[in-house]
């Protein structure tokens, strides 16, 4: 298992009263610890956990997904309760392990001695303090982390309220995870009590609860977004309102960024002025993570809107520098991928390839393998634009995005795999495109769904199935493209319909469509489809493209490359 970076969930475990057990039963304790360690490592393997380090009987582990961390803790406790311990240890009830987990963004760096990833910073301290509050057999987490993780199957939660923890300036909302049906009462966490008479060990202060609730909603929205949930916007908006009410501008900036990033991902309008204001606020408040993410979100919006393109590369460079300073490979990788996408849209294929290969090298050096799929998919897209089929590369990207459990990137990898199959005259192309379109529709990505429909139409047309292609074109015409610019959407539709009509032998209608498409792109001469439409018009004027017969099983590879290379940049 490779070490996760960026936003991770850390787990700390420790055997209760281990010193006394070693003193009383040194031989059997050695055997018991061997059993304990084996159970821990098996559970880590089962739940995609990374063993950071051990100290005596204590484990520190890292997880990319909070739900895996919660399931790991729950399953380990169940396993330990049912193990056969050496007699003297069994008479004590077996080894009682306290556990705690917390989600956040630690500083990640490779230990120069062990050469393994290590985690540092306030978030790590908080995770360790949460675990230290637990009793043997108990699992504790802060409220926002448990919301992001969700409860494992067979578990329930117990709210222990707000607690002051040793060494932490801010109190923590502690929640316990325990098996459903447990009869003995849950012991109160071992924290610094602000109210010794309270059974929950701390008063419920709304000023403390509100920020935690905002963090929880923000975390849940991000999990739903990656997994394809359609309630992310609601979670982000509510988190923003709560952060404003709690007078927490740091959380409000992150929720505002999440909302703007969502609009960019859905290819809707994200006002550049709002992103500029967010970046300025992050600069004033010395919030480098939000600043880097705001710069990259703004760059993505500029690329999509074809506005202020001269600002894209400087913004990516600044974000990359922030990632280097923070030791955050996720920001560095995101900046390089953004550069690669920008160069590809500008037809600078060599520069795009170099940026993406550098991003791939960082993932290999730092073990941030969850980015593999996205980077491989982008590299596959470059080969697609060059009309060079590489189905194996596209399929590897699909495997990696599925492994990362990223529903959005998996849909894009499906789409890209289909484009390579189409380019390789593989009959499975339409099947994969339809699967990608169905996934995009489920996720609410209407612009991406519309792209898949256009690709399906062209795939049918280049295989001689003109009637099916026209049905897809009609369907796409009636659908909401989801794009911010109606003119660009209309131009893209007319361009693709022109190809279908030309491949169906309707040259006059095709010429009319492509002329109308060029009119629609008049205000966006840098759009890749503007250039493609000009090339198509030259093809139509030269009349050098053979007309497929209805009974044809497919076109020649040369004709397919002409169609695909002209369309791939937009699809």
Domain borders along the chain are 8-193, 368-438, 445-571
Structural fold of domain 8-193: Alpha-Beta Plaits (3.30.70)
pLDDT in tens, the chain (571 residues): 788 888 899 999 999 988 889 988 999 999 999 999 999 999 999 998 999 999 889 999 999 888 899 999 999 999 998 888 998 888 888 899 999 999 988 988 888 888 889 999 999 999 999 999 999 999 999 888 887 788 887 888 888 888 888 888 778 888 899 887 666 666 788 875 544 444 444 444 445 567 777 877 787 777 777 665 557 888 888 888 888 877 888 888 888 888 888 878 776 666 788 888 888 988 988 889 999 999 999 998 888 777 788 999 999 999 999 999 988 888 999 999 999 989 987 878 899 999 999 999 998 887 777 788 889 888 888 877 666 778 898 888 888 888 777 788 888 888 888 888 888 878 888 898 999 888 888 877 887 888 888 888 888 887 778 788 888 887 777 766 655 556 667 777 787 788 788 877 788 888 888 888 888 877 666 666 677 777 777 767 766 544 433 223 233 334 444 444 445 444 5
pLDDT at 202: 41
In the structure encoding, which two tokens stand for residue 542, read together?
Answer: 């030269």
DSSP 104-119: E--EEEE-TTT-SEEE
pLDDT at 270: 63
Q: Which helix (H) or strand (E) holds 314?
A: helix 312-326
CA torsion through residues 61, 64, 67, 72, sign = negative
pLDDT at 153: 79
485 neighbors 520 (Cβ within 8 angstroms): no
- Cα 195 to chain center, whole Å? 41
pLDDT at 194: 45
- 287: nearest Cα among 250, 336, 327, 329: 250
pLDDT at 532: 72
Spatial neighbors of 305 by CB under 8 A, at least 6 apart, are: 269, 272, 484, 485
> Between 407-423 and 372-385, two packed helices, what is the crossing angle to 10 degrees?
30
In the structure encoding, which two tokens stand for residue 44, read together?
Answer: 């880590």
For residue 293, the number of C-alpha atoms closer than 13 Å in the C-beta half-sphere is 21
**Residue 133 phi/psi, 5° resolution?**
-80, -15
CA–CA distance, 10 with 103 (Å, rounded to integer): 6
CA–CA distance, 330 with 518 (Å, rounded to integer): 39
CA–CA distance, 505 with 547 (Å, rounded to integer): 5
CA–CA distance, 358 with 352 (Å, rounded to integer): 10
pLDDT at 382: 82
Q: Is the pTM of this model over 0.75?
A: no
Q: What is the dihedral of CA 286, 287, 288, 290, to 10 degrees?
A: -150
Q: Between vectors from CA 234 to CA 231 and to CA 238, what angle results, nearest 5°?
A: 145
390 neighbors 353 (Cβ within 8 angstroms): no
CA torsion through residues 475, 445, 525, 433, sign = negative
Spatial neighbors of 486 by CB under 8 A, at least 6 apart, are: none
231 neighbors 212 (Cβ within 8 angstroms): no
Q: How far apart are the first and last CA of the chain?
A: 35
Strand partners, 108: 119
pLDDT at 200: 45
């Amino acid at each position: 298992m490779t070490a996760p970076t960026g936003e991770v969930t850390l787990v700390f475990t420790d055997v209760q009263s281990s010193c006394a057990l070693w003193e009383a039963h040194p031989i059997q304790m050695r055997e018991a610890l061997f059993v304990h360690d084996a159970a821990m490592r098996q559970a880590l393997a089962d739940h995609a956990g990374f063993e950071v380090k051990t100290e005596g009987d204590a484990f520190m582990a890292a997880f990319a997904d909070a739900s895996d961390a919660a399931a790991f803790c729950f399953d380990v406790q169940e396993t330990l309760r049912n193990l056969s311990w050496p007699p003297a240890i069994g008479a004590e009830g077996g080894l009682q392990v306290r556990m705690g987990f917390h989600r956040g963004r630690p500083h990640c760096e490779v230990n120069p001695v062990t050469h393994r990833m290590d985690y540092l910073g306030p978030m790590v301290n908080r995770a360790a303090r949460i675990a230290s509050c637990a009793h043997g057999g108990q699992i504790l987490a802060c409220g926002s982390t448990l919301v992001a993780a969700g409860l494992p199957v067979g578990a329930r939660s117990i709210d222990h309220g707000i607690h002051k923890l040793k060494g932490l300036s801010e109190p923590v909302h502690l929640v316990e995870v325990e098996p459903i049906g447990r009869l003995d009462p849950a012991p109160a966490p071992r924290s610094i009590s602000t109210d010794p008479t309270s059974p929950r060990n701390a008063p419920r202060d709304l000023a403390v609860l509100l920020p935690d609730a905002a963090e929880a909603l923000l975390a849940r929205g991000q999990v739903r977004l990656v997994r394809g949930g359609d309630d992310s916007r609601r979670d982000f908006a509510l988190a923003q309102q709560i952060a404003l009410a709690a007078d927490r501008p740091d959380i409000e900036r992150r929720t505002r960024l999440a909302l703007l990033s969502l609009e960019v991902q859905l290819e809707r309008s994200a006002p550049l002025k709002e992103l500029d204001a967010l970046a300025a606020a992050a600069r004033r408040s010395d919030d480098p993570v939000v600043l880097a993410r705001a710069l990259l979100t703004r760059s993505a919006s500029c690329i999509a809107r074809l506005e202020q393109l001269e600002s894209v590369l400087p913004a990516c460079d600044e974000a990359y520098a922030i990632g280097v300073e923070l030791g955050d490979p996720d920001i560095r990788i995101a900046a390089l991928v953004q550069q690669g996408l920008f160069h590809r849209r500008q037809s600078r294929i060599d520069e795009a390839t170099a940026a993406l290969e550098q991003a791939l090298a960082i993932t290999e050096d730092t073990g941030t393998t969850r980015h593999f799929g996205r980077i491989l998919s982008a590299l596959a897209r470059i080969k697609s634009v060059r009309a060079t089929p590489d189905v194996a590369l596209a399929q590897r990207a699909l495997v990696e995005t599925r492994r990362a459990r990223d529903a959005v990137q998996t849909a894009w990898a499906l789409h890209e795999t289909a484009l390579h199959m189409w380019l390789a005259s593989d009959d499975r192309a339409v099947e994969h495109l339809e699967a990608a379109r169905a996934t995009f529709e489920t996720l609410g990505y209407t612009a991406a769904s519309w792209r898949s429909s256009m690709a399906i139409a062209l795939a049918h047309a280049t295989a001689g199935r003109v009637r099916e292609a026209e049905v897809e074109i009609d369907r796409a015409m009636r659908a909401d493209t989801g794009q911010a610019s109606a003119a660009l959407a209309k131009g893209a539709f007319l361009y693709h319909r022109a190809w279908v009509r030309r491949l169906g032998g309707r040259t006059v209608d095709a010429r009319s469509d492509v002329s109308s498409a060029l009119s629609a792109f008049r205000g966006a001469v840098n759009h890749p489809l503007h250039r493609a439409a000009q090339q198509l018009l030259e093809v139509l004027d030269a009349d050098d493209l053979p007309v497929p017969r209805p009974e044809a099983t497919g076109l020649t590879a040369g004709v397919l490359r002409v169609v695909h290379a002209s369309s791939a940049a937009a699809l």
